[in-house]
Structure 1
Amino acid sequence: MASLLVGCSQNSNSSESVATSGESGELKLKVAHYYAETHPQHIALVEKFEKTVEEKTNGAIDVEIYPSSQLGDEEQYTNGVRNGTIEMSVSGMGMQNAEPKIGAMELPFIFEDFDHAKAAFEGDVGTFLGDAFSQFGVETLAVTANGFRVISSNREVSSMDDLKGLRLRLPNMDTYLKFGDAMKVSIQPMGLSEVFTALEQKVIDGQENPYATLKESGFYEVQSHVLESNHMFSPNVYLINQKFIDSLPEDQQTIIRDAAKEAAAYEWDLLTQSVDETKQFLADHGIEIVVPSDSFKAEMVEAVKPIHDNVINNTDWGKEYFELVEKYK
């Protein structure tokens, strides 16, 4: 995928008000995310969301996109959207520790492929997720694809025995930690910005993320193998501060919501189309990709069943959620 040269302001000051205006009177809409500028998430925001909103509002809304955690890590900028100092973000499921329904999106081995995930998130599963986020003062404009997660490492992993004790970086979130326990790895929680150095210095043996993140964050430079486990599908959401969007004229609200859906659809296409290209890139750079055997995959799936059972049996929404996921297979 060709790199995109992007001109966007990087020096806006945060404001305690819900909306900020520039010198010419246009409304500032800051969008924060943690992806590199070459990642499909950023490209879709620039080519579709920013362009569409600015054109259709005749410049009344000035979209400023801040990639690569320029406005803080995911927790910081998501909290900024909640309190109104940042208008919008591309966020993952980090708020699952406050709302377990959000974490259910990333339960291991529940989505079969991209088509299954896309249909679910464009349907009732997406509505379920939006409702879960709404209690935090934000509106979910659209769901985008982060992708199916794989495990990169500094040695070959081709069995459950190889996973045992592997010093694996995982996000410090309940769903991930339970997955790590099920795989019997040595869980190493840390922020994404710390991972490259930890891999380079061999503080950890590996990490898990979708292929695009493995490439765009440069992790392939300090890893030798990838286990194509596809153990979780990770969605992202376009979150916007509810007071901010409610304060806009109705026509501008519609423009923003429609532009978000357009950008999200484009991002799904870019991300899914990039997988094979990214795998070839990694192979060309010396990464050995290991596809798990049927028996190894079956062992991993069996190991996470208690996680699923816990959600189904110990929440008042788990059974309904699994039925919604099943509906879109």
Structure 2
Amino acid sequence: MTYSLSAIIGRTLVGSALMGTAMFAGHVYAQSTATIKVASYFAEEHPQNVAIREKFKPYVESHSDMQVKIYPNSSLGDERQYTNGVRTGSIEMAIAGMGLQTAKPQIGFPEWPFLFEDYDQAQSMLNGPVGEKVDPYFRELGVEPLAWTANGFRVFSSKEKIDSMDDFDGFKLRMPNLELYVEVGQALGANVQTMGMSEVYPALEQGVIDGQDNPLATLYRSGWYEVQNNVLESRHMFSPNVYLMNQQFYDNLSDDEKDVIQEASRQSMELEWKLMRESASEIKKELEESGLEVTEPSQELHDEMVEAVQPIYDDFYSQYDWAEDMVNMVREGS
């Protein structure tokens, strides 16, 4: 009895599937019955993990054979480690920041200082024209961008109140270990020190640093408000996140399974943005009740900060031929 080549391949795939794997082009990949590990650095009750737990996980598990396991609080490593894990395939999915901008600078564009004005603008642009421009650069690095979510507008927390640009002079400021962040802090006059998220609390407590920058939700959920006295709602940068999935894992899903992942991501994304909006005023109130003084920068201070970071834009415009068009796209809302 003879079989055609297609029949032989089909029988091989069926046999492999019974063992929990499928062979494609000589490689063995996990079948879609595998567990999707979702890694993040966020606290368990941060809106990012709440949305994944309440929307993404139940939708995927009720509409497919896939299971979802959530790993919050950097339990699968810091952001750099778990993002690399998604690229290599040891982790299926992550809620990642823009760390991959070190390989593709276009990925860091949404974090440029004072780029977005409010949540509505950020959501519509990131899940619209900005995402359409940036998403291909993620794919070049072996990951599939599923949806853009919000970490939030970044603020400065500190032990001493920040009232003017002079207060940044010599200020020991923790920022992420990314060139753009370091440049922003230095442009404002701060003494920037980079460190991982898990190091921030003891560094604040022991006076190794005077303050840090992060969205209010991260400041609150991470407990850093316990060792800070003041918050300046500078909104100097917007921090987006993106759901990233290993490209091979995603590509090997059936069309129906891809539809499930896409819809689960959309529902989770919508809830996360909603929670971030709703939690902003609540978290601000909680911080104030905890003893922190939360202030808005004066118009003069705001304008001085915007002016201070303008050289960063000038450098980008001279370095990247795409930079000015991208900025204009956001500012013109198209």
TM-score by length of 1: 0.91
- Equivalence for 2:273: 268
- Equivalence for 2:151: 146
Q: Which amino acid aligns with 2:293?
A: E
Matched, 1:27 2:50: no
Cα distance in structure 1, aligned partners of 2:210 and 2:67: 43
Cα offset, 1:20, TM superposition: 6.8
Q: Name the SS of the counterpart of 1:80 in structure 2.
A: helix
Cα distance in structure 2, aligned partners of 1:295 and 1:136: 42
- Equivalence for 1:8: none
Task: Report percent identity of matched pairs.
Answer: 50
TM alignment of 1:1-329, pairs within 5 A: 18-19=29-30, 26-57=33-64, 60-328=65-333
Whether the aligned pair in 2 keeps the contact of 1:196 and 1:219 (CA below 8 Å) is: yes
Residues 247-302 of structure 1, C-alpha deviations (whole Å, 9 max, x = no match): 11110111001110110111000011100000000000000012111001000000
When the two chains are superposed, the root-mean-square deviation of aligned CA atoms in Å is 1.4
Residues 153-189 of structure 1, C-alpha deviations (whole Å, 9 max, x = no match): 0110010000111000011101101101111100111
- Equivalence for 1:10: none
Cα offset, 1:197, TM superposition: 0.7
Cα distance in structure 2, aligned partners of 1:169 and 1:86: 28
Moved more, 143-152 or 113-122: 113-122
Task: Please list every run of 5 or more consecutive structure 2 residues that lacks an aligned counterpart in the other structure.
Answer: 1-26
Residues 199-231 of structure 1, C-alpha deviations (whole Å, 9 max, x = no match): 011110000000000000000000000011000
Cα distance in structure 2, aligned partners of 1:86 and 1:30: 6
Cα distance in structure 2, aligned partners of 1:249 and 1:99: 29
Cα offset, 1:18, TM superposition: 4.9
Q: Which amino acid aligns with 1:19?
A: A
Q: 1:18 to 1:217 in 2, by over 3 A?
A: farther
Number of corresponding residues: 308
Task: Please list every run of 5 or more consecutive structure 1 residues that lacks an aligned counterpart in the other structure.
Answer: 1-15
Whether the aligned pair in 2 keeps the contact of 1:18 and 1:85 (CA below 8 Å) is: no
Q: Which runs of 4+ in 1 moved over 6 A?
A: none
TM-score by length of 2: 0.90
Cα distance in structure 2, aligned partners of 1:164 and 1:131: 40
Q: Name the SS of the counterpart of 1:142 in structure 2.
A: strand
Cα distance in structure 2, aligned partners of 1:73 and 1:249: 31
- Equivalence for 2:24: none
